[in-house]
Amino acid sequence: MYFNNKGGLPVTLIFLCLSSAVNAQTARHIADPLNLTTTLGAGFDADVLKVAGRLGGDNQKIELNSNFGGDKWNLSYLYSPQSALSNWNFSASIKHGKTDTEIGRFNHYQYQVGIISEFNGWMDIAVFTEVGANYLSVKDNPSSDSITANVSVTALRPWSDRWYNTLVAKGSAAIDSSERYEAHAWLSLGYRVTERWSWEIRYRYESNQYESFSEEETKWGFAIQSQF
């Protein structure tokens, strides 16, 4: 879980607890996107307090993160069969945010569905590929609504029992008549203090364009997380 800041290095402290017995997935790395453990968390993005939580089970999880005011949040769901007979995992999410433009601030919702596959490659690198579709709904400016096709690749490389890297690249482009493009990339360096606790430093680049509105930025992030 990350709480990133446009203007500096945010620090996130994650507190996690387990309210009931669930599958702890001891074979899954703490940074694995298919990890289904249950978590609770809180942190700061500059001067904004954010909270987050994830409820995990044997083959699915529901995750929510939000700023303290509740006006920017993301709710996601993952179904992962955790079976050698199936390498396909289903994801769905709803994201609400606010975008500042030269003509005002717009509330928007993004509805996304996708399919994730996992591949264990060279040098113990785990590669996760997701393909899907995203629908953007902009309040008070419906002409900016659009549908995109998305591709995301995540590479997880454990260097030892402690150190690991995560590289993520995402891209999307409109498949309707709108002009909408997004490109995100980030690199994380992580250290597992114990099997349950780790910290990560992340550097992220983002580029977004919606019709005549465009945004480009870089962000640093720091997180401490745990799993049970």
What pLDDT does 111 receive?
96
φ, ψ of residue 67 in degrees (nearest 5) = -75, 165
Domains and their CATH numbers in the chain: 36-227 (2.40.160.40)
3-state secondary structure of 70: coil
Amino acid at residue number 155: A
**Which region holds residue 140: left if phi is over 0, alpha if psi is between -120 and 50, else beta?**
left
Looking up tokens 């994380």 gives 188
What pLDDT does 45 receive?
65
What pLDDT does 219 receive?
82
217 within 8 A of 6, measured Cβ to Cβ: yes
CA dist 74 and 49 (Å) reads 15
What pLDDT does 24 receive?
43
What pLDDT does 22 receive?
40
Q: What is the pLDDT of residues 50-60, one digit of tens each?
A: 777 888 888 99
Kindly list the distances between the CA atom of residue 13 and the CA atoms of 70, 180, 197, 217, in Å, as whole numbers in the listed order: 19, 34, 11, 24
User: Is pTM, for the whole model, over 0.85?
Assistant: no
Q: What is the pLDDT of residues 121-145, one digit of tens each?
A: 788 899 999 999 999 888 877 677 8
Task: Give the chain's residues under pLDDT 70.
Answer: 1-26, 43-48, 99-105, 142
